[in-house]
A and B are shown apart, each in its own frame.
Chain A
Amino acid sequence: MITKTVDVAIVGGGPAGLSAAISAKKNGAGNVLIIERGENLGGILNQCIHEGFGIETFGEALSGPEYMQRFIDQVEENKIPYLLNSMVLEITRERKLLVASREGLIEINAKAVVLCMGCRERTRGQICTPGTRPAGVYTAGAAQNFINLKGYRIGEKVVILGSGDIGLIMARRLTVEGAKVLAVVELMPYSSGLPRNMVQCLHDYDIPLYLSHTVTEIHGKKRVEAVTLAQVDERFKPIPGTEKKIDCDTLLLSVGLIPENELTRNAGIAVDEITGGAIIDERMQTSIPGIFACGNVLHVHDVVDYVSMEGDKAGKDAAEYSLGKAKMEGAIRVKPGPGVRYVLPQLLSGEEDVLLSMRVISPARNVKISLIDKGRAAKTIMKPRVNPAEMIQIKVKKGELAGCKEITVTLQNGK
C-alpha cells in the first residue's frame, strides 16, 4: 500500500474540483492533490460540447471543454498534482482516503478534504416506467458520452422523456447528427429547461413538445420498437384514453440528476434528503470538520459558473482549515419555508457575508423572498420571475444576520 499525506485532497477533477484545487492553492494550502476517476481532468464538461458555459465567469459563452481548459491551464500553471484513473473507495471521519489506482492501493491522509464527486442520472429503473426492458433506452448523459466522446449513433428515431436542459440539448445534438427526434415529453405543464434551449433545441428543429405527458409503456422485445405516451392529470397520473403509441427505436431519459453521495454517507456525513447532498455551513463545511463539499455533489446546479464559485469558496476554506485557522461554528439554522424547496447553506455562523443558494417549488411571477427569523423579516428581495429550474442566489451581509437564531426562507406574492 502506498501512503501519501496532503494538506487538501480534492475528490473529483471536474468543474467543482478544479476550482476548489486552484482556490486552495491560491489561499495558501501547502500541497493539494486532485483525485480523478476518469482519463482526463474536466469531468462531465468534457462531453458538454455545446455552448453557454462561462457567461458569468468569463463574459463569454464557451463550450464545456473550452471552459474546463481555462481551469486545467490554471491547475498546470499552479503545478497542482493530480491522479487520473484513480477512484476514491472510502473516506473516513479522520480524513483518510482509500484510493484504487493502477499504481496500487493508495492511502491518503489529508488535513482537509473537498468533496466534488458530481452527480449521476436518474434511471428508468428508478422511475418504474412500465413495459419491457429492451436495448435502446438511454439516460441523456450516457447518450451524450456515446455520441460526443465515442462517435456512436445511439438510434435513428428518438423520443426524449424530460424537457430539462440535458434533454433539450440532446434533442438538438441528435438532430444535428442525423437522427429524427420525434418528440420531447414533459410531465409538468411547463418545460424545466432554460428558454434559450427551448428556442434553439426545439423550436428551431420543429420538434414537438408534449407538456403534461409521460411515457406509460416501453415496447420492444430486444430493442425499443415504440413507446406509449399519455397525458397526465394534476396529480401526474396518466389519464386513461389519452394514450398515443409512437414508433421509435430509442428512448432518451432526462429525468433528473442525483448527487453521488455514497462516499459521503459512508463517511457518516449528514446528508439533506431534499438536496441529496451534505448539510453545510457557509464555509461549505460538512458535519465532519475539515471535510467540505461543493458543486453538483452538494446540490444539482444549472449554471457551471456557480459551481466554480462554490468550488472557489470551498477550496479557500479547506486551505484555511488545513492551515489551522479555526472558525466559529455555524449556529444559525436556515430552513426552506412555504414555496421554497431548499436553501443552502443550512448553517450560518453570522460572522461573514454569505451567498445563499435556493430553489423554489413552482414557477411564479412577482414574488417576494423573505428571510424570516422570529416572525420578523431579516431581509426581503423581490423577483419578477422565479422557476424551479433556475437556482436563485441571494447575497446576505453579516449585519443582516445579527441576532438571528433560525431563518426560514419563504416565498410570497410580492404585491
Chain B
Amino acid sequence: MANKRYVCIICPNSCEIDVEYSGKTLTKISGQTCKRGDEYVRKELIAPERGITTSVPVRGGSIPLVSVRSSKTVPKELLPNLIAEISKVRAAAPVKMGDILIKNVLGTGADIIATKNVPRKQA
C-alpha cells in the first residue's frame, strides 16, 4: 500500500489529489473537485499519457520550421520513440495549419499535425 500526491494539470485550479494504491490498483482517492481531475489521476497512476509539441523542418518555406503537435495524448513511455519518429520528417511548403505530417504515429492513433501556416518562400 503506497500513497502519492498528484497535482492535477487539467485546469488552473491545480487541485492536489491524494491517492492510496497498491501496484496499479487505486484504493482511495481524495482532493479532486471534478470528474476530469478524477480521470486524470486514475490515468496518471495506471497509464500516464502525454502530448508532444515540437518542430519539423520545412523545405522551400518562408520560415525554416513548422511547429507541430500530437492530435491526442499517447502513452508517456512512447514519447522518446515519437520524438525520434518526428525527427525523420521533412515537410515541404506550403504547409497549412492542421495538415497531418504523420498519420497514426507508431500506431498510437495520434496524428502529428502542423500548428502553423508556412507559405512558400517568396523569390
**Residues of the B chain whose Cβ atoms lie less than 8 Å from the Cβ of A64:** 67
Partner of A204, one of B7, B50, B55, B63: B50
**Residues of the A chain whose Cβ atoms lie less than 8 Å from the Cβ of B14:** 194-196, 385
Known A63-B67, A66-B97, A151-B64: A177·B54 in contact at CB below 8 Å = yes
Q: Which residue of B lies closest to A48 (CB)?
A: B67
Partner of A50, one of B11, B53, B57, B97: B53
Min CB–CB distance A388 → chain B (angstroms): 14
- B47 CB within 8 Å of chain A: no
Q: Tell me the chain B residues, 42-71 only, with Cβ under 8 Å from chain A.
A: 50-55, 57, 63-65, 67-69
Whether the Cβ atoms of B53 and A65 lie closer than 8 Å is: no
Partner of B54, one of A46, A62, A69, A176: A176
Interface size class of A (residues with CB under 8 A): 20 to 34
- B121 CB within 8 Å of chain A: no
Min CB–CB distance B81 → chain A (angstroms): 13
Q: Which residue of B lies closest to A42 (CB)?
A: B116
Partner of A65, one of B50, B51, B64, B116: B116
- B106 CB within 8 Å of chain A: no
Partner of B115, one of A49, A147, A173: A49
- B12 CB within 8 Å of chain A: yes
**Complex: A353 Cα to B51 Cα, angstroms:** 40
Whether the Cβ atoms of A176 and B97 lie closer than 8 Å is: no
**Residues of the A chain whose Cβ atoms lie less than 8 Å from the Cβ of B89:** none
Whether the Cβ atoms of B9 and A200 lie closer than 8 Å is: yes
**Residues of the B chain whose Cβ atoms lie less than 8 Å from the Cβ of A65:** 67, 97, 115-116
- A135 CB within 8 Å of chain B: no
Min CB–CB distance A83 → chain B (angstroms): 18
- B76 CB within 8 Å of chain A: yes
Partner of B76, one of A66, A173, A176, A204: A204
**Residues of the B chain whose Cβ atoms lie less than 8 Å from the Cβ of A149:** 63-65
Q: Which residue of A lies closest to B6 (CB)?
A: A199
**Residues of the B chain whose Cβ atoms lie less than 8 Å from the Cβ of A151:** 55, 57, 64-65
Does more than half of chain A's interface fall in helix, strand or loop, or is it mixed?
Answer: helix
Min CB–CB distance A194 → chain B (angstroms): 7
Whether the Cβ atoms of B12 and A390 lie closer than 8 Å is: yes
**Residues of the B chain whose Cβ atoms lie less than 8 Å from the Cβ of A150:** 64-65
Whether the Cβ atoms of B7 and A148 lie closer than 8 Å is: no
Q: Tell me the chain A residues, 320-362 only, with Cβ under 8 Å from chain B.
A: none
Whether the Cβ atoms of B69 and A51 lie closer than 8 Å is: yes
Known A69-B97, A198-B7, A204-B76: A148·B65 in contact at CB below 8 Å = yes
Interface size class of B (residues with CB under 8 A): 20 to 34
**Residues of the A chain whose Cβ atoms lie less than 8 Å from the Cβ of B52:** 176
Known A65-B116, A69-B97, A194-B14: A148·B67 in contact at CB below 8 Å = yes
Partner of A66, one of B57, B63, B115: B115
Q: Which residue of B lies closest to A197 (CB)?
A: B9
Min CB–CB distance B37 → chain A (angstroms): 12
**Complex: A64 Cα to B69 Cα, angstroms:** 11
Q: Tell me the chain A residues, 381-411 only, with Cβ under 8 Å from chain B.
A: 385, 390
Whether the Cβ atoms of B55 and A49 lie closer than 8 Å is: yes
**Complex: A173 Cα to B52 Cα, angstroms:** 10
- A303 CB within 8 Å of chain B: yes
Interface string of A24-65 (1 = CB under 8 A from B): 000000000000000000000010011100010000001111
Interface string of A143-162 (1 = CB under 8 A from B): 00001111100000000000
**Complex: A63 Cα to B50 Cα, angstroms:** 15
Interface string of A220-260 (1 = CB under 8 A from B): 00000000000000000000000000000000000000000
**Residues of the A chain whose Cβ atoms lie less than 8 Å from the Cβ of B11:** 55
Whether the Cβ atoms of B117 and A63 lie closer than 8 Å is: no
Interface string of B76-100 (1 = CB under 8 A from A): 1000000100000000000001000
**Complex: A204 Cα to B80 Cα, angstroms:** 12
Q: Which residue of A lies closest to B54 (CB)?
A: A176
Min CB–CB distance A43 → chain B (angstroms): 14
Partner of A199, one of B9, B64, B65, B115: B9
**Residues of the A chain whose Cβ atoms lie less than 8 Å from the Cβ of B9:** 195-196, 199-200
Whether the Cβ atoms of B117 and A69 lie closer than 8 Å is: yes
Min CB–CB distance A303 → chain B (angstroms): 7
**Complex: A63 Cα to B57 Cα, angstroms:** 18
Min CB–CB distance A49 → chain B (angstroms): 4
Q: A65-B97, A194-B12, A200-B9 are in contact. List 4 more A-B contacts (CB 8 A).
A: A148-B67, A176-B54, A195-B8, A195-B14
Could you list some 10 contacts between A and B, CB below 8 A? A51-B69, A62-B115, A149-B63, A176-B83, A177-B54, A195-B9, A200-B9, A204-B50, A385-B14, A390-B12
